[in-house]
Structure 1
Amino acid sequence: MAELVFYTNPMSRGRIVRWMLEEVGAPYRTEIMGYEGAMQSPEFLAINPMGKVPTITHGGAVVTEAAAICAYLADAFPDAGLAPAPADRAAYYRWLFFAAGPVEAAIVNKSLGVEVPAEQEKMVGYRNLETAVSTLETALGEGPWLLGEQFTAADVYVGAQITWGLAFGSLPKTPAFEAYAARLHARPAAARAREIDDALLPEEMRGKM
């Protein structure tokens, strides 16, 4: 079996991939990377020239970007049942990449205080934060998951965006978001991932991620 190596930092988007790995259930080795040291080392830059985490290697494959890693792992370990059949992936791809593109861009810009003038909204992929948020809420439908009864890698990535947004105040605490976040929080794999990463945090940061 090809070795699966996970490069991460507990104060990063690597927490999304840790959760996905725990959902997959395959053995993996973790490399904890410091922002000012290991991430900028020649050895790591040869793997990911961006010098950032999360990154995984799986045999000869290198995958970066949290959404791409989630999708890759779902396909690499099909027995976990975290991706729908190829013919049923329309909503799966739609919401996975909507969260990775327009939603993340809208939230990051809000956090940085970037304001897009109304006359230039058509130039950005999310139009405005309110539109992105309301569209994201429609993705939840009747639930319990994005694809109805099947929990998938899209729920890991979209769910991480929503739970973080609620925790840090970048998304509104709507009933739909809060109910979805509560279902996600209760998943055993999510609890295991939190426990692993929280134990790696500096003591003063524990309970804040």
Structure 2
Amino acid sequence: MSEIILHHVPGSRSQRVLWLLHELELDFDVRVWPFDKTLRSAEFLALNPAGRVPALELDGRSIWETGALIEILCERTGRLGRPPGDAERVDWLIWVHFAETISQHAATCTQQHLMLREASMRSPVVMKLESARIGKCFDAIEARLAGDWLLSSFSAADVAVGQAAMMARRFHRVGDRPRMAGWIDRIEARDGWRRASDAKGFYDRDFYEVPDV
């Protein structure tokens, strides 16, 4: 495989791809970007025209969108995916892309709690609604888990959903979901996760309470 460069913001969705690269044991470089207007610079927009991470330089071009990156890397390596025709292919695709549903709710909470600096700009109602929606996503994970992983064995679906859940649990506790709690413990025990875990980035605490309305 050609030279790989991951463009990454600590604490963001790009950690999902960083973790997968470690799980796939690929050789790659990381360029860390600040979470600021630099992502709107001409230099970065040439890598991802949406001005977001991740962007991955591969085969002499830049590719982006975490779901696409996961599919491409798994297909290229033949690892941690489920190829067309596999009995688990449909479920693998569902869970890989379900990560974005979780991430969108977590992103809204992140905006409300961290990015809107003035209290008057924030909405406790939105915070409460989005936290509850994360809880519904956690319920779906809890209902899915019958064994150690989301599918019959560890896969990139666990990477995608796992990273999203790790981010989202800053806004909704895992609570009384024992299967999900055990799954997170197994994730945190993986060498790939440990190597990909980085600074909190723009998060300044482990959990954000919804303020009183």
**Aligned-pair CA distance for 1:130:** 5.2
RMSD between superposed Cα atoms in Å = 3.1
What's 1:6 paired with?
Answer: 6
User: Normalising to structure 1: TM-score of the pair?
Assistant: 0.76
Distance 1:183 1:54, change over 3 A: same
What's 2:46 paired with?
Answer: 46
What's 2:147 paired with?
Answer: 143
Identity of aligned residues (%): 27
Preserved contact between residue 5 and residue 28 of structure 2 (Cα < 8 Å): yes
Query: Residue 56 of structure 1 aligns to a residue in which SS?
Result: strand
Paired residues for 1:51-130 under 5 Å: 51-78=51-78, 81-88=79-86, 89-101=89-101, 103-109=102-108, 112=112, 113-114=125-126
Unaligned stretches of 5+ residues in structure 2: 113-124, 208-213
- Larger mean Cα displacement after TM superposition, 173-182 or 54-63: 54-63
The residue type paired with residue 158 of structure 2 is D
What's 2:182 paired with?
Answer: 179
| Pair 1:20-2:20 in alignment | yes
What's 1:35 paired with?
Answer: 35
Aligned mates of 1:4, 1:90 — CA distance in 2? 28
With CA pairs under 8 Å and 6+ residues apart, which has the higher RCO, 1 or 2? 2
| Pair 1:164-2:176 in alignment | no
Aligned mates of 1:129, 1:59 — CA distance in 2? 36
**Aligned-pair CA distance for 1:45:** 0.7
* Number of equivalences: 189
Distance 1:188 1:129, change over 3 A: closer
Aligned mates of 1:55, 1:104 — CA distance in 2? 17
User: Normalising to structure 2: TM-score of the pair?
Assistant: 0.75
